[in-house]
Amino acid sequence: MWSIRSLRRIASIAAVFAIGFLFSFSDRTLAEPLSKEPSIIKGVGEEVLAAASVERVRTRKRYDYSRFSNGLRWVPRPRGAALRRATALGLGTYESAKRLLRTPPDKKVLDACRGEEPKTLLWPVVGGKWGRGFGYTRKYRKQLRHNGVDIGAPQGNPVRAAADGIVAYSDNGLRGLGNVVLVIHRNGWSTLYAHNLRNTVQAGWLVKRGERIALVGSTGIARGPHLHFEFRSNGRLADPARFFVGYRSKEINGPIVEL
């Protein structure tokens, strides 16, 4: 049997450990920030929701393309009939451009397009040479698909519309593409012309096949002067190579610059 003196000694030791534990827990609680996840604190007969959690910000290192980003915004000021047409059709804005790159054009936009439904695409750069094709053709980061074709040409060479249509966007708001022109065609096709030195048409402009719409440049993320050309059918990306006609032959194949 335990004596009264032994029990008192055990009780005093236990009390010392309990007091020390409570003080250490209190200090740790005050020193630590709020929990990163909401927790439930149980009180007497009720539950209280803890303070809002602190959001954890996860940072991911991205490849630095800044040394390849060149050129300034050089686009025409929207005005006149083209501006009124673009406003009525909801064209010319960043939001409309992003939507047209993912979904088929609205019927009212297709009805506003001039000319006949195209069956081919005119080679868009006079004197342009193949640089890189559609698909998994990147020299670096080979796991990423190249969404268009690159056509090398000297800076300032004319860029021409591949088919009749209406300009849906002419600005530099699409990340990495620099000064870019987006044209919608009557059959639901769309063509995009990027990295231009200068755009020469505005949103709402009715373009003809072969009409100059820009000048070759290296704005946006570009290692040298070239045209980045994208083709979509009802909002879906496709390889435009089989539709090209015009100034293209074996004699001019091969890039002017390393793309």
Please, what is the average pLDDT of the chain? 77
Question: Which of 116, 133, 97, 125 lies closest to 240, judged by CA?
Answer: 133
Whole-model pTM: value is: 0.69
pLDDT tens for each residue of 107-126: 999 999 988 899 999 989 98
Q: Which of residues 111 and 35 earns the better pLDDT score?
A: 111
Average pLDDT value for residue range 232-245? 89
Residues 33-52 as b or e (16 or more Cβ within 10 Å = b): eeeeeeeeeeeeeeeeeeee
Task: Tell me the helix, strand and coil percentages in the chain, rounded to 5.
Answer: 25, 25, 50
Q: Are 233 and 104 in contact (CB under 8 A)?
A: no
Question: Which of 146, 168, 160, 156 lies closest to 221, judged by CA?
Answer: 146
DSSP H or E stretch at residue 160 = strand 158-160
Query: Tokens 């946006």, residue?
Result: 220
Instruction: Supply the pLDDT for residue 148.
Output: 84
Average pLDDT value for residue range 119-147? 73
pLDDT tens for each residue of 67-97: 556 678 999 999 999 999 999 999 999 999 9
Tell the CATH topology of 72-252: Glucose Permease (Domain IIA) (2.70.70)
Q: Residue 165 and residue 185: Cα distance in Å, rounded?
A: 4
Is it the case that residue 250 has pLDDT exceeding 90?
no
Q: What is the DSSP string of 102-158?
A: TSPPPHHHHHH--SPPPSSEE-SBTT-EEEE-SBS--SSSTTSPB-SEEEE--TT-E
Average pLDDT value for residue range 24-53? 45
pLDDT tens for each residue of 215-236: 999 999 888 899 999 999 999 9
Q: Are 186 and 168 in contact (CB under 8 A)?
A: no
Q: Are 51 and 67 in contact (CB under 8 A)?
A: no
